[in-house]
Amino acid sequence: MTATTETFFDQVTRYFNNAARFTTYPEGLLAQIRCCNSIYRFDFPLRRADGRIEVIHGWRVEHSHHKLPTKGGIRFAPDVHEEEVMALAALMTYKCSIVDVPYGGAKGGIKIDTTQYTVEELERITRRYTHELVKKNFIGPGIDVPAPDYGTGEREMAWIADTYSALHPGDLDAIGCVTGKPLSQGGVNGRREATGRGLFFAIREACAQADDMTALGLTTGLEGKRVVVQGLGNVGYHAAKFCREAGALVIAIAEREGAIANPKGLHEEAVFQHRKGGASILTFPGATPLASIAAALEMDCDILIPAALENQFTAENAPRIRAKIILEGANGPTTPDADPIFRQKGVMVIPDIYANAGGVTVSYFEWLKNLSHVRFGRLSKRHEEANERQMLKAIELATGKPFTEQQRADLAKGPDELDLVNSGLEETMINAYHGLRDTRTKHPDVPDLRTAAFLTAIHKVARSYMELGIFP
């Protein structure tokens, strides 16, 4: 199969097969893990504001039922198609397995350009899409739980939650049918920045491994490392923010209209606000416009973060990539033909199915919050603060040295919801990274972290299927 005919799902399957050869599972079991369990394609009419009737095309794919519910975002994009949704659903299965989030993978898509519709039309599209999912039992807190993706956000998730609840009166867990909701509608603190924060935890842990950094010719830690970010959306913005706050230099940022660079560093918030005001990123003061987005991707840097769309690195441009580490914020930014080139060049690729798992991890926390019907920290925060104050008092009595009011306030502060969410995310990303390293240690022939990640996922999903058996 040539690169021109290979679909995104074919590429994911290639990655799967590359890892599966390091296992001894029967082909039938591997085939079950590899395939999409359920694919729902549907069309529905939309009456436009001017009276025209337009047919809207939608999909929902549930890749794996080894664990339920399934989980995955809904993408609104003019070029979304079935094979893309299938690929993204498969990646979700493997991603959830790697970070030990008990979901099967799923994904949804609606083929629209959101800029061409009014808010009222987008609401009608979203609600009708939800209704179609309800009719076929493709949504529910114990069945399939959507989330935001490209082209969607908190607003759309609130519409989905409201529509599902209206169709399931009396269901106390109805709000758990979707995650990524506004806080006022059952969302969780930290969800918006979760994917970017997860990327930061991933790269921080990777840069803490002295042997890996020595092999790359780098020192440990993020301090002083040169970072290039593609995409200043939610993921890219927060990844840049947390890396900069840790001492890294964001030397270039690429967006749809082009890219800018500054060797002394760019402040992502200033760039974001400049662009939000209607100006092009290319006119940002103090930065040098680059000839193309490709020029940013091909810059000499320590860390390159693709946080846009898939297929950014191919066999054609991979030889020109000069980054030492590629941290995949987007889904599928590297094609299977580019990976061996990166290995040959000594580039460390931290794969998407691990690196961008922060979003689904915190979505899991939101789902747990919805099912428990209580905010994280509500029951324990004051109790923990009282215990800490008692401890501080005992220390003061023992030492004869009182704490200042500020010290006492800082040290006795109990964790709120955001603290607990970020702590859980950090624990998840650190443990998962070392899980991938352990896989490589157990399988010395595994060539890179991506293969290790797929192999880790295959082991976990296969174990689940073998323990569950086959019904009937």
Smallest Cα–Cα separation from 348: which of 370, 328, 368? 328
d(CA 189, CA 422): 9
Q: Closest Cα partner for 158 from 198, 123, 200?
A: 123
Which amino acid is located at 200 in the chain?
Answer: F
Instruction: Name the burial class of residue 44, with classes exposed (0-12), middle (13-18) and buried (19+) by CB atoms within 10 angstroms of its CB.
Output: middle
Which neighbouring-strand residues pair with 327? Answer: 350
First-to-last C-alpha distance (Å) of the chain: 37
Instruction: Name, in order, each residue with C-beta under 8 angstroms of 356's C-beta and a sequence gap of 6 or more.
Output: 95, 195, 198, 199, 235, 328, 329, 330, 331
Bridge partners (DSSP) of residue 42 are 58
β-pairing verdict for 258-261 and 288-289:
antiparallel
Per DSSP bridges, beta strands 226-230 and 249-255 are: parallel
Instruction: Give the C-alpha separation, 191 to 204, whole Å.
Output: 20
**Residue 234 and residue 137: Cα distance in Å, rounded?**
31
- 148: preceding bond cis by omega (within 30 degrees): no
- What gap in Å lies between CA 80 and CA 95, rounded to an integer? 21
Q: Write out the two tokens for 66.
A: 């080894």
Element (H, E) at 248: none
Distance between CA atoms of residues 427 and 424, nearest Å: 5
The residues assigned a catalytic role are 107
Sequence-distant contacts of 320-324: CB under 8 A, at least 24 apart: 321/297, 321/345, 321/347, 322/298, 323/228, 323/299, 323/347, 324/216, 324/217, 324/218, 324/348
